[in-house]
Amino acid sequence: MKKIAYVMLLIVLFVFASCQQDEPTIITCADDEILVNGICEKVVIKTDFEKTFDAMDGIDNYTLIVSIQQFATIYEIELKVDHEKSSFFMDGKSEFYQKNGTQVDHYFPVGEGYRKETVSQPSQGQPFHFLSDLEASWFQEVSGKYFLKAEYNDDVALFFQGEFPGSTVSNLELIVGQTYFDQLIFNVTVGEVMYRFTMTLSAIGQTDVTLPLV
């Protein structure tokens, strides 16, 4: 009996010891955090406006119409980008470009046809590249409209310094659609002359550029 009682005592002590193991640590995260691999990580919840900027990042197929108004005169430029190919239409004439490694094949009109030349790729990248450089935090919402904060006007103005040295940018309004930018409207002032720019994006992912025969 003593031996049985001794064995039972050992069993009871073993079971009791097992029950006394440390309970698992319960980690409680804040309301704006989730538990990932035992660590609380902040959940970044983006607004629809911020998601539009993410969608614009790296797009390489679109059509951009640029309308430039100076007093009563309106100029219009059409830019089409189709991955490695692009076209530039103004004053009834079209020019075409195709990236070729570190160089660009430039197709330009000559008489009734086109001629091709190979040139170095511009260091600034594709035209109007600043579209992809804009950030949601640069804008403030006013009555459902989005305007560029004044402290970021110079960032956009840098793009125009080549053609318009000393120019300034003001009153930039961004109009967004369900997925991408729809329009940018802003003023570029050079000296005492102000140009009103309206840039309209369309055919994103559906633009086709066909290079001319040479």
Q: What is the mean pLDDT of each run of 10 residues along the chain (214 residues)?
A: 42 43 69 74 82 89 94 93 93 93 92 92 57 89 93 88 86 94 94 94 96 93
User: In this predicted structure, what is the pLDDT of residue 93?
Assistant: 94
User: In this predicted structure, what is the pLDDT of residue 122?
Assistant: 64
The per-residue b/e assignment along 70-81, b for 16 or more CB within 10 angstroms, e otherwise, is eeeeeeebebbb
User: In this predicted structure, what is the pLDDT of residue 164?
Assistant: 80
> H helices of 63-167, where?
153-157
Q: Map out the domains of the chain as residue ranges.
A: 2-42, 48-202
Whole-Å CA distances, 199 to 62, 135, 156: 12, 17, 14
User: In this predicted structure, what is the pLDDT of residue 9?
Assistant: 40
User: In this predicted structure, what is the pLDDT of residue 11?
Assistant: 39
Could you please state the CATH topology (level 3) that the domain comprising 48-202 is classified under.
outer membrane lipoprotein receptor (LolB), chain A (2.50.20)
User: In this predicted structure, what is the pLDDT of residue 131?
Assistant: 79
